[in-house]
Structure formats: C-alpha cells, structure tokens
Chains A and B, each alone.
Chain A
Amino acid sequence: MVIGVARTDFEKLEVYQLAERLADLTWRIALHWDQMAKATLGGQLIRAADSVGANIAEGCGRGSYGDNRRFAKIARGSLYETKHWLRRAYSRDLLDAGQIEQLRSIIDELAPRLNAYIRSIGRAACNPKTDTTDYGPRTTHMSTLVDDPRVIEFDVRTDEMLVNMGPQHPSTHGVLRLVLRTDGEVVSEVTPHLGYLHRCAEKIGENLTPRQWIPYTDRMDYLAGMNMNLGWSLTVEKLLKYEPPEKGRHLRVIIAEMGRIASHLVGMGAYGLDLGSFSPFLYAFREREKILDLFEEVCGARLTYSYLTVGGATADLPRGWLQKCEAFLEQFEPIIAEYHALLTTNSIFIKRTAGIGVMSPEMAINFGTSGPVLRGSGVDHDLRRDGEEIYTAMYDGYAFEVIVEKDGHYPKDHKYPAVPHEAVLGDCWHRFYVRMLEVVQSIDLVRQAIDRYSTAEGGYGEPRKLTEKLPKGEAYLETESPRGQMGFYLVSDGSSIPWRARARSSSFCNLSVTSDLCRGCLIADIPAIVGSLDIVMGEIDR
C-alpha cells in the first residue's frame, strides 16, 4: 500500500479507524458522567481523543511528508493525553471494568500502530523492487514496512560511505553532482547539488530586449533550442497581444515538433549509454544529425538556433525544405523499430528499468514534474492540449492524442511494442516509453503541419522590431517543451527592455524527485533513474 502524501482516503488507514473508535467510545462513556465530571474531565478527554484522529486526517491532507509526519506526531501527543485523562478518570472511579477493557484494547493497538505509521511516512515512495532487502510478503498492511517494531534485524552491518557522483561523471548528464550515501551497493540517500552551469541568464534578460534574449534561451535547454525560442517568443507575444499569421503558426509547429524529435533522440541514446549500451546512442545521433542538417538549412545553426523569434521566425523555410523534411520522416519512421529492438523491448533493458524508480501519479503531481516524466506516471496532461489559449491555438485543428497510459493502455493510433508485464506505471521504463511514443506522435504532427503550411496563405511572420517598446504589465506562459512545462515570465515597465525575465525550468522540478526515487536503490539504478528523468543542466542552472 502506498502511503502517498496526497492520499484522500485517510479513512482507510487503520490508525485512523482505531482513533475514530477511541473517540466515539470515550464520547459514549463520558455521556453518562455527572455534570461535574463532564465539565472537567469529560471535556478534556473528548477533546484529546478527538484530536488523535483529527490530526491524522489533517496530516494526510497536507502537501508534504514533513507536514504529515508532524501532524502524526501531534496525534501521538493527543493519544498520550487521552491516556492521561483516562487514568485520571479511572482513579476517580468514573470507569467500570468493561469500559477499561475496551479502552485498553484500542489504545494498546493504536499506540504501536501510530508509531509505525509515523516512521513509515515518506518511505512508501521508495521502490519495493529496487530494495534488495526482503521484507517478506507485502501485504496492504503498513506495519510490514521497515520500521515495524516487530521486525527483527538480522542484517550484516557495513560502514556507510559518502560518494560524490559528479560533477565530473560520465552519466550525470553534464554537471549534476549527486552526493550518495551508500551502504555497500545500496544507496540510502541521494542529494542533488546544482549550480555548476549557472550563467546568470535571467539577469542578462533584464538588460536585453526580448529578441536579444532569444539566443540565451537557446542555451538553457541546449538540446531543444527551438522549443526554448518558441516558449519565450510566445510569452512576449502574449504580452504584446500579437498573433502570428497562419503560415507562421504551422511553421512553428513543424520546427517545434522536429526539435522534440531531436531532443528525444538524445534522451533515448543517452539513456542507452547510462545503462551501458553504446550503439543506440550512435543510432540516435545519426538520425538527429539529419534533423540538425535540416535546421542548419533553415537558420544556419546546428545547436543554438535563435530561429523562432518574437513575431514568427527569422526567415521563411527555404525552398525545397519541406520535401527534404518529408523524405527524412519517411526514412526515419521505420528506424524507430530498431530503437525498440535495441532498448525498449530488450530484456536486459526491461530488467534494468521496469519497476525501478516508480513514481505514483500523486507524487509526480506533488513534485511539480511535467512532460514525459509526468505522463510516464499516468497523468493525462499535455500543455499542447491543456495549456493556455495562446499556446493551444498553435495546435488548433491538429489531430493528436496525448501519450499517456489511460484505462490501462497507451494510445492505439500506431502499432507500438507491448508493455512488458514487469513494468509498473510510473517506472523508468514507462518514462522512456512515453518519450519513444512521443517521437512517433511528433512525426504525425510534423506531417500534418507540412500539409497545412504548404496550403496556408500569407506571410510566415516577420520578426518584430528589435527595440519595440513593450506594453506595461506582465505575462507568464508555459509551453510543452520536450522535457516538460517550460515557463517564461516577463514583467515590463513600458520600456523595450523587460524589467524582469524569468524561466521556470521543467528539468528542475523533474530532478527534484531524485532523492525520493533513489532512496534504497542500488548504485547502478542511479544512472537508470536520473537518466529516465532526462534532465538538461543548462536549463536547471540557467
């Protein structure tokens, strides 16, 4: 049983049920006391007994493990207080033998349960499959967790070791530094440290006009520069209340979805590397190179494009580009099967990823994860469909289904490899799978966009003037970048340079789950879990 933070079914908790019984029983007992006892002892007793269940319930509804634990401890305090008042009542001959027996049986059960409950809070997030210790058969009873007082320890104790994984490490995706506390191969604690790639991008944004800041957005998520450009451009356009022409809209869809494919290809290839498989990486880069070639033709750059900009794009697509793009898609689509053979359906790959780093939908929401990480946990949320009007307008009329496991299955628009039975929703395998499926989805979107673009009338959207004055006010917009919801925030005091420019990083929130996902896993699972989150440090540190 998962004791999630945002559990709404606290009624099912056994501790809570016991606390309810205790409260009601004391009420019934105190009801028959005389006025004097009711006014003094009775009131206090009922208040204390009621407080036990109330605090458990309140803790459950709170946003974090810390809060939950704190309230559970208050509940324990109330339980002790109840005990005190019951002792007083007993010494003042207010209780008969039958009542004492009833109360004692409840309290004797409630006290240890409550203790175990307090200790178990937050632990349920650790993944049962990565945990090497065998706790015996898992029942839905929470007291079978680690700290059950009845668990006898037979473990051979070894020394704990603190290990720095990164900032120079082959599989921390750039300059992430993870401090691991390990007991042999088992990792008991992971602390991510950030800031090794901090380049003051946001501060620079307060000294440049919006179009001048576009190149800096490229360097945030440098694997999906186009999508970063798009996000910032749309935010500025939201402030300007500008709408790009029809043709420019479809151009943006083509470029953004091609960017998504390129980004997911890196994510997929690098994930293979994290798991010790070299070849898929080169297979992925081979295809990505072709996308970069296309991008190069469009804007002259292969990594930091600064192509999409406020107003539309810096230039129209070159002549003949659409045919090349279509030819690429035609050639690329069947290759995806190779990736599935090498990774997705490879049995070692499944062994390494299925059931590892399982993140419940509640947890995914509570940590603010987004993108494939969120959808990998089965949350049906994609800003291209559920975002703000100005962003969803871009995809208006496009046919696509959000890639998420709904009603026990993924979209059936294409033939995808079957989900292996070992995989649990929200594990590394599902996160990877969602990315792979999004590649197919993006291919569809690009094809639709090419059709629309070639029939659309009008201009592609000239860039706005570099020093155009911004209207006074603020704008915040989140877009669905390959790694999740990338938000940009802009405050203007009426001059052409923003008073504030901020970015909300998707990878930052996605990274925040590492310490919870990695607790209790093996060292080898760390690259598997961190890799499945597909973070880009440039975007996190900005």
Chain B
Amino acid sequence: MGDGIYWPTFFFLLFSALACGFALAVVFSRNVVRMAFYLVMSLASTAGLFFLAGEDFVGAMQLMIYVGGTLVLLIFGVMLTSQKQFVEMKTPAGQWIVGLVTGCALVALLWMAAFETPQWQPISRAEAEAVAVQPTATPIGVALTNGRVDQLDQPDETLRGGMSSYLLPFEIVSVHLLVVLIGAAYLARAKRRSPSAAAPG
C-alpha cells in the first residue's frame, strides 16, 4: 500500500465522528422526532463501523433491528401518544446531573475495558493488513445452531462443553420476545365483554 490517505482509518474516524456527533445531537435536541432521527443516524453510523470491520452480518443486523425496527416503532409511539404536533421536551437540571453521572460512569467503564483487554491492543498497520478478514457469517450461523467455531481448539473439556452453541439463549430470547408481543397485544386490545355479560339473546 502506498502513502497518502489510509482509507480504513479515514472511514473509521468519519463513522465514529458521525456516531458521536449524532449521539450528542440526540442529547441536546428537544424535539422528540428529531431525537429519533439523530438516533437513527447515530445507529446507522455504528452500522457503518461494523461494515468497516468486515462484519457484514452484524452491520446488517444493526440496520435492520435498531435503525429499521426500533425506530419505526418509536416514532409510531411518539406520533400516537403526542398531544401536540411537535413535542418539545425540556430536561430539568436534576436529570442532567443524573444523566451526566451515569453517562460518565459508562464511558469510564468502556474506556477501561477497551484499553486493558490484551486482545484489543492496537496493532501496527503492517500487522493489520496481514490479518485476513473472512467475509462470512457462517461461524455465527453455526454458533447459533451447533457449536462455536471460534472455540473448537479450546483445550479445556468442560469449558468446551459449555460452549456448545447459542441455541438455548437464542430460544430464550425468542420466547421472551413472543411473550412481549402477546403482552403488547393484550394491553392494546379493544373492548371486550366481560364473561359474565354473555347474556342470552
């Protein structure tokens, strides 16, 4: 690779700046729908980071679930519940403080985790270019059903047994979501007659 702009770094910086910028915009915006819009942009930029890292599946997942699904629902909710056309929100000082403390704590935690995990230490550019990215979602798919491909050489028998697959957690989450769906349907259902009122014709 020659000199000049190293595009991965450039795009990393671009997407992370976008993600952070829009995240701040979410915080400082007062209009609920604008917030939602900024959130979409922030999450989409995060998806861009995933694509940059060669994780197409996760990136597409991010787009589909967060950007597509959640936000459509969010806006749907906002539009159905708002009293006026454009809802303005004012954050009281107390909430600012609580939010700042929580946010800073989270940032500190992530910071520590990011810079102290040995596997995540920065590597040189030559090393980075030598890493062959496998553009495949197969390990994820296999991990969901059969076993974790990345842990096949785990020496510890018992540990390997525990790493069979993500099928069970996946199922639990699905059932959980189903329960949520049914709950939502229950809450949103229309008028019903009480059973005792099944009066004869």
Contacts and interface: CB of A to CB of B under 8 A. Distances in A.
Nearest to B79: A158
Contacts of A140: 201
Contacts of B189: 154
Contact of A159 (B83, B188, B198): B83
A159 B80 CA distance: 8
B199 A155 contact: no
Given A139-B201, A140-B201, A159-B83, A153 B191 contact: yes
B190 A133 contact: yes
A143 interface: yes
A122 to B, nearest CB: 19
A140 B200 CA distance: 9
B16 to A, nearest CB: 40
The contact size tier of chain B is 10 to 19
Nearest to A159: B83
Interface residues of A, number: 22
Nearest to B84: A159
Interface stretch (A62-70, A144-152, A164-172, A232-240): A144-152
Contacts of B83: 159
B187 interface: yes
Contact of B197 (A148, A153, A155, A156): A148
A152 B201 contact: no
Interface string B165-201: 0000000000000000000000111111110111111
A148 B197 CA distance: 9
A153 B191 CA distance: 5
B194 A150 contact: yes
Contact of B193 (A132, A135, A155, A156): A135
Contacts of A241: none
A251 B122 CA distance: 97
A407 interface: no
Interface in B11-51: none
Contacts of A413: none
Contact of B191 (A133, A141, A158, A159): A133
A134 interface: yes
A144 B192 contact: no
A136 B193 contact: yes
Contacts of A158: 80-81
Contacts of B192: 134, 136, 151-152, 154
Contacts of A139: 199-201
Contact of A154 (B80, B191, B200): B191
B80 to A, nearest CB: 6
Given A156-B187, A158-B80, A141 B200 contact: yes
B92 to A, nearest CB: 26
Contact of A152 (B81, B188, B191, B199): B191
B197 A134 contact: no
Contact of B194 (A141, A152, A159): A152
A244 B191 CA distance: 63
Given A150-B196, A154-B190, 15 more contacts: A133-B191, A134-B191, A139-B199, A140-B201, A141-B200, A143-B199, A148-B193, A148-B197, A150-B197, A151-B197, A152-B191, A152-B193, A153-B191, A154-B192, A156-B187
Query: What 8 A-B pairs come out closest when comparing CB atoms?
Result: A150-B197, A139-B201, A133-B190, A136-B193, A140-B201, A141-B201, A152-B194, A156-B188
Interface of B: 80-81, 83, 187-194, 196-201
22 contacts: A132-B190, A133-B191, A135-B191, A136-B198, A143-B197, A143-B199, A144-B193, A146-B191, A150-B193, A150-B194, A151-B191, A151-B193, A151-B194, A151-B197, A152-B192, A154-B190, A154-B192, A155-B190, A156-B187, A158-B80, A159-B83, A184-B80
